[in-house]
Structure 1
Amino acid sequence: MSTSFPIGVKQGGAAQAAPRSWKRRFAFYALNLVLFLHLVAVCAAPMSVQPSSRLQQNLWLVMSPYVQLLYQNNGFHFFAPNPEGAYSVLYTVELADGSTQDGKFPNRQIFPRLLYHRHFMLSEFLGSLEGREQEQLTRDFARRLCEKYGAEKVSISLQWHDLALRERILAGGTLYDEDLYQVTPLGTFTWDELSASADENSSVTSAE
C-alpha cells in the first residue's frame, strides 16, 4: 500500500523547504532596493534645506529629478527645517446701534478646512506685504467686513504668533504665552470712506 506525502515533506515527517527560484529571489531583492531608494529620495528633499551638509546637498542633486517627477517634495521647504510663526487678522466692528463685535481670522470655528485654509492664506499674504500694497489690502478687508456685519466702522490689526521653543515648554511655558504675540494696528475705517472708494481695484475675493 503506497502512502503519499505533502510536497516538501520527506517520508518520516521531516520538513524540507522548497527551494526558492532565482526569479523570486531577484524580485524580492529588487523590490526592497526600489523601496529603499524611494525612501532615500523622499528624505533627500527636507534634508537638503539649509543648514545642510555637502553630502545632503549632493544627495538632493542626484535624487531631485525623481522626486520632482513624482511631486514628492511639495511643502517640505515650507515646514522644514525651522518653521516660523503665523499671522492672524484681528478686527473690531462698530454697528449702527453703537455696539461692537470682535473677531479674528483664521479661527477654529471656520469650517470646512479648505475655507479655514483660505482665511489662513489671506492673513499670511497680508503679513507678507508692506507699504501701499498692505494698506490697500487692509482696506479691502475692512470693506468686506463692513459689508458682512453691516458695520459703520471697523478697526483692523495684524497679529503675529511666534512659535514656542522647546526650552520654553520644558521650563513650564505654553504655546500661548502672551509674550509670543505681537499686535500691529493697521487702521480704523468708516463705511462712508470705504464705500466712497469702492471703485478702487479690490484685491480680495470673498471667502464666504
Structure 2
Amino acid sequence: MDASARPGLAGTDHHGSYSRYLSHRFVSRWQSHRPQDAVVYRDLGQRPPSFINHDWVASAFTPDERREPWMKAALAESDELVDELIAADIVVIGTPLYNFGMPAPLKTWVDQVVRIGRTVDIDDTDPFNPYIAKLADRERHVVVPAARGGVNMASGEAMAHMNYLEAHLATAFEFIGITRIHTVAIEGQEAGGEVLAKSIADATRKVEQLVDELHVAANAVPINESA
C-alpha cells in the first residue's frame, strides 16, 4: 500500500514520493527473490478507502447472523480489505508523516480493518483486558517505509515527540495480533542537500537488508505465497 498524496516516485518523477520510492524498492527486491509470490497493491493516496459512518458502525456491531442486506453492503469494502490483510504474510505500507501522524487515507484503512469479529474479539468475562487479537494465529510482518520532512524523529531521538506515525500503526497492528513491525524512513526533505542524500542512501540500504533478512526467514519457514 502507498498512502502518499504524491503519485510518482522520488528520483524518477518531479515532486515524486520518497515513501513510494522505498515501498517500490522493497517490493521489487522481494519479487526478484520470490517471483512466485502474489502481490496485492492498493494506492490509498490516490484511491482512499471510504470513511466509516453510522451505517458501518451499526452493521459492524450487529452479529453476522442478524445483519440485514443493507448492513452486509455497508461492510462489503471492509470485508474485502480485511480478507486481504488476513491472507497477507507481509504488509508493506509506504507512508509519509503528515502533521505528526499518518495521512487520512491510511487512517481510514486502519478504521476499516480494525474490526470486531473479524480482526479482534471481545471477552465479556474480562472487563480489564477484554480484547482478543484474531490475527495472532500465525506470523505476519508489517513493513513501514516512511518519509519525514524533518530529522531526528525516530524513537529515542531528539524530535521523536513530534512523530506519532509509527507508534500509532504499531498500536493498531499489535491490537489485532501482528507484532513483527519493521520501520525504515527517509528524513530531511526540508533540509535537502547532503542531509537528504545521506538519508536516502541509508534507508535504501536498510530496505534491501530487511528484504534479504525476511527472505531468508521465508525460505526457512515457507510463507503463504504472498507478499
TM-score range, shorter chain: under 0.3
TM-score (norm 1): 0.22
Higher share of residues assigned strand? 1
Bigger relative CO (Cα 8 Å, ≥ 6 apart): 2
TM-score (norm 2): 0.21
